[in-house]
Chain A
């Protein structure tokens, strides 16, 4: 099986600080691939590199065998990649439904004259889009907010709304940046089901997350980052048993023994 997303020797320096260094990994189609690591390990930087918000200092990213080098962020949705953000990027000047409809942007006509005159074809397409997006809001579990303004929604629902917007672009691969951050246990459990359902639709999911319970219960593959480098990679069981990972999270064995002594 070929990799859908392939990261090779990727590196990013911020004025001498190596946020990501010589990182290589592959994400296979249809999998849930999680990226974990202590704070400052470079997880979000990695996402920003993959989605074109940052340009890498070295290395390359390939999606479906196509290099993403030099691509602007807006060129990635047409290539089948969409993402959510750790700090919400919701348009608070729009309704909840319009936020999701924004995600379908690339599927809709946007000619200047078509828009000014609101031609019937555009009107029909927009109405269909509206209904599809309302369904997506039901799908991610924030259906009760379909008629709400985005600014009137609670935090947990906004996180789902962002997922719905990303799904509206009908991506092949979806990058979720800490979707469970700030959610309580019940909400996280519901989120797990949403991510499962997304994967069941055949969408590849790359997940950056701190919530270990969520990561370990849902991932096919886990990548552990530490100071911008790959520390370990494997199935959740392998990661759980990996001594390097335990060291990174809990301190090394030597200092642990000192602490208990």
Chain B
């Protein structure tokens, strides 16, 4: 142990985030040129919104080590909440979306606060219950939510401009369709989701979260109030889901109780597990794969749930770290 002690403090820098973000931005900008029709756009918009939710959920699952089986409930609360605020209280769509997110944050805080003081996976039980209750409420309160028949949602309007899928808009002399505008919104949402998630992970707050996963005792001894931090990230991940849900409602113009279903929650968890826990870019790939699969299964829709289950099991058995971290490790080993 005779290494020379440098006189000046060692220069150490944070890992740069721009390479990853640049690649993501380029991919998001290039994709529209590959899209042939509105159906492709529709798929990309849905993938981007779901990927945004997964990036948020990954903060909870991959970094804080807690599992939520009820994120569909937060997604649905965002979608129904903002739709109802617009139709019943005549609030404009953007503030309605933010209000719904605040409501979801409060809901998540109320559910998480008593539970996250307990050790173990009680949060998954509680969120499972929450998800079931949310689905029942949406199905039965048909006066308000339209019940199983669904609910029509007013389109998003920004500064008095309605952004409908069916519209056509002029931007810098170019004519772009409503679908293309919505692709921009969804891609922007995903990009910002990733930026915020990466910021969070690399902050002192994020270190505390990762430490919870690494060694909860070490985190505690360093002064991390573990219950408080788990609760905070649970609320953040719920807000991600709520915002994506609101956008989904405005985009589609019509929402059904299906978005609150247990199947949807499982789909979100499967995306995180498949893409790679604690890998922000991995879960985006997870969302792409899992949402593309049903496109090849048209006519066999009942197989979807079976397939998700099979994927979940296979990933857990063969690559418990998830797709992207496993592949990354393999490449690193092969590199000289």
Contacts and interface: CB of A to CB of B under 8 A. Distances in A.
Contacts of B12: 97, 130-131, 134, 146-147
A126 B205 CA distance: 11
A115 B199 contact: yes
A139 to B, nearest CB: 9
A110 interface: yes
Interface in B121-160: none
Given A73-B220, A77-B223, A131-B12, A91 B204 contact: no
Given A131-B9, A135-B10, A91 B199 contact: no
A2 interface: no
Contacts of B202: 118
B335 to A, nearest CB: 15
Chain A contact surface mostly: helix
A188 to B, nearest CB: 11
Contacts of A73: 217, 220-221
Most A Cβ at <10 Å: residue of B207, B208, B226, B232? B207
B234 to A, nearest CB: 12
A115 B222 contact: no
Q: Give the size range of B's interface with the partner.
A: 35 or more
B332 to A, nearest CB: 11
Contacts of B278: 93
Interface in A45-100: 51, 53, 72-78, 82-83, 85, 89-94, 97-99
A127 interface: yes
A253 interface: no
Contacts of A208: none
Interface string B201-227: 011111110110111011111111110
A122 B9 contact: no
A106 interface: yes
Contacts of B224: 74, 102, 105
Contact of A115 (B3, B204, B214, B226): B204
Contact of B217 (A89, A99, A144): A89
Contacts of A83: 221
B244 interface: no
A126 B203 contact: yes
Contact of A74 (B204, B206, B225, B232): B225
Interface string B187-201: 000000000100110
Given A89-B217, A112-B236, A134 B10 contact: yes
Contacts of B208: 102, 105, 110
Contacts of A166: 221
B174 interface: no
Contacts of B220: 72-74
B205 A115 contact: yes
A92 B14 contact: no
B9 A105 contact: no
Contacts of B317: none
A101 interface: yes
B199 to A, nearest CB: 4
What size tier do the contact residues of chain A reach?
A: 35 or more
A106 B232 CA distance: 17
Nearest to B199: A118
Given A112-B232, A116-B200, A144-B3, A98 B207 contact: yes
A249 B200 CA distance: 53
A17 B60 CA distance: 40
Contacts of B199: 115-118
B218 A165 contact: yes
B213 A93 contact: yes
A73 B47 CA distance: 43
A112 B232 CA distance: 8
Interface in B299-331: none
B221 A131 contact: no
Contacts of A82: 221-222
A90 B13 CA distance: 22
A22 interface: no
Contacts of A102: 207-208, 211, 218-219, 222, 224
A76 B205 CA distance: 19
Contacts of A90: 214-215, 218
Interface of A: 51, 53, 72-78, 82-83, 85, 89-94, 97-99, 101-106, 108-112, 114-118, 122, 126-127, 129-132, 134-135, 138, 141, 143-144, 146-147, 165-166, 168-169, 186-187, 190
19 contacts: A53-B217, A74-B224, A76-B223, A77-B221, A83-B221, A93-B214, A94-B214, A105-B207, A108-B204, A114-B203, A115-B205, A116-B236, A118-B202, A126-B14, A130-B13, A134-B10, A138-B5, A143-B3, A165-B218
Given A115-B200, A138-B5, 8 more contacts: A76-B223, A83-B221, A93-B278, A94-B210, A94-B214, A102-B211, A105-B208, A143-B10
Q: Which 4 A-B pairs rank lowest in CB-CB distance, beginning with the nearest?
A: A91-B214, A77-B223, A115-B203, A108-B204
